[in-house]
Amino acid sequence: MTRKITVAAAQTGPVLQSMASGVEAACAMVQEAARQSVDIVCFPEVFLAPFFPSRLIQDYEKHFLTLPSPVTDPLFALAREKKVNLVFGYAERDGAYFYNAAAVFDRAGRHLGTYRKTHIPAYFPSELRAERAPTRSSTSLPVPACRSLRSTAFVSASRYAMTGFIPSPRASSRSTVQKSSSCRSPMPPMATLTTRVAIWDLPLQARAFDNGVFVVAANRVGDENGRRHIGKSAIVNPLGGRIMKQAGMQAPELLVAAIDLDDVDKARRSLPWWRDRRPDLYGNLDPA
């Protein structure tokens, strides 16, 4: 059985129109992925909606979806037709609860599982803060399996798996708007754009290196009503945390790379950190 697959990070643009237009653009990327014989395409975090977690807005519910949805059906139908696995980052509504989620679908269109964001940031714990306000934290860490590949779809987080697919615009954007008429509170001060560009690669390379996994990081790009998404989507090899392919900072693109899963075994033999872990020594690390 071959150990080589082709993966893609779908770097999407800003959301300035309806979800339908975003689905249309995503379909074009799946078409291109099929043309290049891509096995798995990873889309960014909540990529069909403006990045509402950065602002406190009253009508956030309109950005959330319950799958299956007529809005996204064309994308999943096309992926099924082209036999492409998908990692789909979206704002999920499940009954009364809302999640920042990444759903995994196999090449037959079967829903293999959904990862819901576990660590939801709050810049100022004493205040009601953007993303923590509408979304609920996950209570599990699923690892869906695509074909022979055990993969993890995670949102702005990291953990042990064969390959990590990261839908993640949050850590790589900067808002130039401090307050919007639709916000209930001003945004907190953030690092400069230059700093965020400089540090974007660091956690991706570190997670690939210290976990011994490939990392496929999909990001958004472009100006979104004052919020600058920097792009720079990347595919990182576990051997030394080497960046194999990286997208630019100006336009949407489909970043494609062939990866050899034997590199995972090589990386873990070279630096067997997971083998040598001592969880019996860690105990409760909560300072409280």
**288, part of any domain:** no
CB atoms within 10 A of CB 120: 21
Each residue's pLDDT expressed in tens, for the chain with a length of 288 residues: 568 999 999 999 999 988 999 999 999 999 999 999 999 999 999 999 987 666 666 677 888 999 999 999 999 999 999 999 999 999 999 999 989 899 999 999 999 889 888 777 655 444 444 455 556 665 666 666 665 455 555 554 444 345 567 676 544 444 333 332 333 333 334 457 788 888 899 999 998 998 888 999 999 999 988 888 999 999 999 999 999 999 999 999 999 999 999 999 999 999 888 788 787 887 666 555
Q: What is the pLDDT of residue 143?
A: 61
Q: What is the pLDDT of residue 53?
A: 62
**189, part of any domain:** yes
Q: What is the pLDDT of residue 152?
A: 55
**89, part of any domain:** yes
Q: What is the pLDDT of residue 181?
A: 30
Tell me the two tokens of residue 29. 């990327």
**130, part of any domain:** yes
Contact 218, 166 (CB under 8 A): yes
Q: pTM for this one?
A: 0.82
**128, part of any domain:** yes
Domain membership of residue 39 as a residue range: 4-282
**136, part of any domain:** yes
**162, part of any domain:** yes
- Say how many domains are in the chain: 1
Tell me whether strands 145-146 and 111-116 are parallel, antiparallel or unpaired: unpaired
**287, part of any domain:** no
Residue 255 one-letter amino acid: L
Q: What is the pLDDT of residue 277?
A: 79
Q: What is the pLDDT of residue 279?
A: 78
For the chain, the three-class secondary structure string (H helix, E strand, C coil) is CCCEEEEEEEEECCCCCCHHHHHHHHHHHHHHHHHCCCCEEECCCCCCCCCHHHCCCCCHHHHCECCCCCCCHHHHHHHHHHCCEEEEEEEEEECCEEEEEEEEECCCCCEEEEEECCCCCCCCCCCCCHHHCCCCCCCCCCCCEECCEEEEECCCCCCCCCEEEEECCHHHEEECCCCCCCCCCCCCCCCCHHHHHHHCHHHHHHHHHHHCCEEEEECEEEEECCEEEECCCEEEECCCCEEEEECCCCCCEEEEEEEECHHHHHHHHHCCCCCCCCHHHHCCCCCC
Q: What is the pLDDT of residue 274?
A: 78
Tell me the two tokens of residue 54. 């950065």
* CATH number of domain containing 169: 3.60.110.10
